A and B are shown apart, each in its own frame.
Chain A
Amino acid sequence: MALHLNLFHEIQTTRQLQRRDPLKLSIYGLSAIAACFAGYYVFQFGRMHTINTELNRVQSQFSALEPKAKAAKKREEEINVEIKKSDLMAKRIENRFYWAPVLEQIAQSVPREVQITRLAGDLSGEGLRKCSLTVDGISAGSDPRQVAEDVRTAIAEKIGAKYKNVTSNFKTLEDGTELVVLDGKQMPTATFAINVQLTAGEDAAPPPPPRRKR
């Protein structure tokens, strides 16, 4: 068996030791980790760029929409005010009190034995209209007071059929001093004043109930 002498064993050992140098290995390892960190950072930076681009796009979209939305809101409020005004005006027109039917019903309630000398009516209230009427007149007949009473009840019945809370009362009812000729006969007279109260229209919406205290 031939004898082999390795004259470079010392050099080889030194090289082997250099290759296994922990410092060097650590530097390699750390460099790899640093590369990973840098890669991750670059990846996140790229993501950040994408997010920023999206944010800028959204912001510019919002900046363009915001003034339009504000103007639209203002315009909506203006239109709503106009609509409210229109509705209120329509309500006011529809809730008007009509006097002509009242006059017609009073005229229908008056018989030929009665002459109306004065008729006065007054209206109050906005939603629920209260109407007060005064009918002054002279009644003639064998019992002029009964004739006046018939007029009062006839007015109450006629008006009560159409309006709410109708009341018809005599303010005055007195025997007249004059005699009138009716159907060729002289008849005694009575003077009267009838007060008629009625309501028309609708009540305003009731106020909301008070909050319960805890």
Chain B
Amino acid sequence: MKLGKDELQKLVLGGLLLIGVVYSYFDLLLFPLLARQEAATKSTVALGPEIDNAQAQIKKTQDLEKRAPELTLVLTQVNAMIPEGSPVAWFPTRTADFFKRQGIEKVTTRLNSETVEKELPGFRRLAWGVDLPKVDFADFGSALCILENEELLLEVNSIQIDASRDDPQTQHALLTVRNFVKQ
């Protein structure tokens, strides 16, 4: 079978058209679609671990939230131990009342200095001078023992006991104490 010139032209034209159509199909339709598919699949896959992480984070926080009251019990107790209001108003009275209960009548408490606690935000430490002009050493010792056991937020920083020349049975005690108060 012999092809005529006209038919050959048609075949060449058809071939060119076919190449163009195939090229357009792949380049303009199929490949972009596959690329979009791949990108969407990647995004879906990538979001999977992020969703897992987010869910794990929420779960972790919920568990921690449940355990938080137990883990921060000390802090809650400490906050409950500190009275509201200015420490200058309550601390000297509290100290005087305490020593009165221990049989030591004369107590003078004054504020010496104040330190901000960098490691414990929300708290500061106040240094006080507690002057006990007339104490018996043994009574003072037992009072100090009770004070150290009762007042958990208080620490005696320095202590000075002088024997009185006039009355050998009594001593003059001076304490420097530091206690935690709310900021």
Chain A residues within 8 Å of B, Cβ to Cβ = 17, 20, 22-23, 26-27, 30, 34, 37, 40-41, 44-45, 47-48, 51-52, 54-55, 58-59, 61-62, 65-66, 68-69, 72-73, 75-76, 79-83, 85-90, 92-93, 96-101, 103-104, 107, 115-123
Contact pick for A76, options B33, B47, B64, B145, CB 8 Å: B64
A90 to B93 alpha-carbon distance, docked (Å):
26
Chain B residues within 8 Å of A, Cβ to Cβ = 1, 3, 7, 10-11, 14, 18, 21-22, 25, 29-30, 33-34, 36-37, 40-41, 43-44, 47-48, 50-51, 53-55, 57-58, 60-62, 64-65, 68, 71-75, 78, 119-123, 137-138, 141-142, 144-145, 148, 152-153, 155-163, 168, 180
A62 to B58 alpha-carbon distance, docked (Å):
13
Known pairs A41-B29, A41-B30, A48-B33 / 6 extra A-B pairs, C-beta < 8 Å: A51-B44, A59-B43, A69-B54, A89-B74, A90-B74, A118-B160
13 pairs across A/B with beta carbons < 8 Å? A44-B34, A51-B41, A54-B44, A58-B48, A58-B51, A68-B54, A76-B60, A83-B71, A99-B148, A103-B137, A119-B160, A123-B156, A123-B158
* Chain B, residue nearest A124 (CB): B157
A44 to B71 alpha-carbon distance, docked (Å):
56
Task: Looking at the assembled complex, report how far the CB atom of B146 sits from the nearest CB atom of chain A, in whole angstroms.
Answer: 8
Contact pick for A65, options B55, B71, B180, CB 8 Å: B55
A198 to B180 alpha-carbon distance, docked (Å):
25
A92 to B7 alpha-carbon distance, docked (Å):
101
Task: Looking at the assembled complex, report how far the CB atom of A56 sits from the nearest CB atom of chain B, in whole angstroms.
Answer: 9
- Contact between B120 and A58 (Cβ–Cβ < 8 Å)? no
A40 to B31 alpha-carbon distance, docked (Å):
12
